[in-house]
Structure 1
């Protein structure tokens, strides 16, 4: 039986944050990203939600042996859903794909008590830069809702557990995009 795949649209796009080796760029239709807070976590994070007519880039990766346990633990605040919309990908064969999304009843907008972490944004954008280049990373910003939420600048002492070191060009790119969107750094 063929391994199932997940569709990552946030930190899972950054291959340095996981060990799922069989991974391929992909685009899913009918979904969009948003920054949300949930009662299940103290800080804001990305979620996906169904949005007809929209599409987002990401990364699909095989879950060896159908062993979802580690990934379900990592994505503990999310529910896993089959991808129902069209999916374009670079895998050499058809795949069954799941996507993680926060249940709407647990979802709320980020606030100063539950901000987005800049170290989290950095990790996500680094993944998009590596997989999709500058234009793809810019598309990440443009296809994500919630940039009006407070962003906690924790670069000097990263709080995000999967933080990665950005080079100067990556850091400048993130900063320029946040400035373009008039993001609220606190």
Structure 2
């Protein structure tokens, strides 16, 4: 039996943040992304949400020997759902594919929570590496919840898998946030980072 694959649409698109093999660009049909809050953290999570007639870019990669334990731990707070019927990819095989998503019943209002800029940086870097500037544009366009405040923690990153961005990638993030009139926050203390 061949290895199963996951579809990543956030930080998992950034192969610098994990070592799962055989990554391939892919598209998940019938979904959008959204920033959502859950009871477990003071920072919002990026999740996929079912949305007919929509599609999001991402990456598939193998889970060797179907050993999901490490990935399930990284994606704690998410449910692992079958997705191979909705994923388009150029992989020569037709592997089993799963996607992680926050379940609607665990979502909470985002009013007191923030997006970590160090996490967003990792996501955008991944999209830039795989899909270029057009892919970064599509990421912002196919993600909801940009009214959530963004905590500028670049100087002291709170996301455990943060990465160093190039000058171009930093400018891409900042330019898109400015175009969205995103609310930036500067503060010394922040909630624990998400584990995604």
| Cα distance in 2, alignment partners of residues 108 and 131 from structure 1 | 32
The Cα shift of 1:146 comes to: 0.3
SS at match of 1:108: coil
SS of residue matched to 1:27? strand
The whole-number CA distance in structure 2 between the counterparts of 1:137 and 1:115 is 21
Deviation per CA, 1:121-140, whole angstroms, max 9, x where unpaired? 10000000000000011100
* Structure 2 partner of 1:149: 148
Matched residues, number: 185
Partner residue in 1 for 2:188:
none
The DSSP-based 3-state class of the residue aligned with 2:37 is: strand
| Match of residue 49 from structure 1 | 49
Residue aligned with 1:105, SS: helix
How big is the shift at 1:84? Answer: 5.8
TM, length-normalised to structure 1: 0.96
The answer to whether the 8 Å contact 1:110/1:150 transfers is no
When you count strand as a share of all residues, which structure comes out higher?
Answer: 1
- Tell me, yes or no, if the aligned pair for 2:32 and 2:50 is still in contact at 8 Å: yes
Unaligned runs of 5+ in 1: none
SS of the aligned residue for 2:127 comes to: helix
Q: Which residue of the partner structure matches residue 78 of structure 2?
A: 78
Q: Distance in 1 between matches of 2:74 and 2:6?
A: 13
Q: What is the TM-score with the length of structure 2 in the denominator? A: 0.91
Q: Which residue pairs with 2:6 in the alignment?
A: 6
**Corresponding residue number in structure 2 for 1:88:** 88
Aligned twin of 1:179: 178
1:118 is displaced (CA, Å) by 0.5
Matched, 1:58 2:64: no
Q: What is residue 194 of structure 2 aligned with on the other side?
A: none
142-151 vs 89-98, which moves further: 89-98
| Matching of residues 21-60 of structure 1 within 5 Å | 21-60=21-60
Superposition CA RMSD, Å: 1.1
* Secondary structure of 2:56 counterpart: strand
1:167 to partner: Cα distance: 1.1
Distance 1:185 1:85, change over 3 A: farther
